Amino acid sequence: MNTVFQKDKIGLGKRKRAVARVFFVPGNGKVTINKVSGEKYLQYNTNYLNAIWSPLEKLNLKEQFDIIAIVKGGGLTGQTDALN
């Protein structure tokens, strides 16, 4: 994956101690969190995955973008909320 990330193309989310840097890149609807598949990172929890995809589903953009995220701190619930 040779994607060049620019500082002006980044989203930042926080929840308690969890901090997420989020990049939206054109793609087909994959989630990558800390270089791991989003499903595997979030332990295949459908509630977490649905929470991440809900903003893009409302805009009908789920199949047009991939989400690449770098998260630190907190637990999985806090990290998921930071990704929203």
pLDDT tens digits along 35-77:
999 999 999 999 999 999 888 889 888 888 889 999 999 999 9
Does residue 2 sit within a domain? no
For residue 67, give its domain range.
9-83
Q: Alpha-carbon distance 46 to 38, whole Å? A: 11
Does residue 41 sit within a domain? yes
Q: Alpha-carbon distance 84 to 68, whole Å? A: 13
Q: 79 near 46, Cβ under 8 Å?
A: no
Does residue 1 sit within a domain? no
Does residue 33 sit within a domain? yes
Specify the pLDDT at position 70.
94
Ranges of beta strands (E only) in the chain are 11-15, 18-26, 31-33, 36-37, 65-72
Specify the pLDDT at position 78.
94
Number of domains making up the chain? 1
Q: 31 near 37, Cβ under 8 Å?
A: yes
Total-model pTM: 0.83
Specify the pLDDT at position 74.
92
